[in-house]
Amino acid sequence: MTFEATIEILMRPMLGRMGNAARYPLLGMILVAGSGGGCAALNHCGFGGCPGDAKMTADVQALFEQHPALEPPNLLSVQTLDRVVYLYGLVDTDLERQLAESVAHEVPGVANVVNSIGISGNR
C-alpha cells in the first residue's frame, strides 16, 4: 500500500465532514509534509529492511562471540535495518561498550552503528 493510500484511508472520517473544495488541498498538504525526512529513509529498502540485514545481524553476533570481553554476564542484543546496526543491552565497562561498537563496524556492508548499550558498572 502506498503512503498516499494510507493517508487517504486515515483521513476518510475527517474528509467526509468537509466539502469537496477543502478535501484535495488538505490531502495535498499532508502528502507533501509526509514525503520528507523520515519516510525517505524507510523507502530506501522498504519496511522489511534491506536484503542482507539479517546476515549482518548474524555476522555481528558471531564476531561478538570471538571477544570474551563481550560474553556473559554482559547482555547484548543486535538488530539491523537498512544496513544500520542497532546495539542494545548492558556491559560492565565503557571499554566493552566501545569494543562492541567497533566490532559491529567491522562487518562488511554496515553503513552505521547506533550504540544504545548501557553500562552496569559491576566491575
The identity of residue 59, as a single letter, is D
Cell of 33: 509534509
Task: Quickly name the fold that domain 53-119 has.
Answer: Histidine-containing Protein; Chain: A; (3.30.1340)
CA–CA–CA angle 24, 27, 42 (5° rounding): 150
Asked if residues 123 and 96 have their Cβ atoms less than 8 Å apart, the reply is no
Q: What is the pLDDT of residues 46-74, one digit of tens each?
A: 777 788 999 999 999 999 999 999 988 88
pLDDT at 58: 96
Q: What is the pLDDT of residues 3-62, one digit of tens each?
A: 555 555 555 555 555 554 444 554 444 444 444 444 444 446 777 778 899 999 999 999
Q: What is the pLDDT of residues 89-111, one digit of tens each?
A: 999 999 999 999 999 999 999 99
* H or E element at residue 113: strand 112-119
pTM (predicted TM-score): 0.62
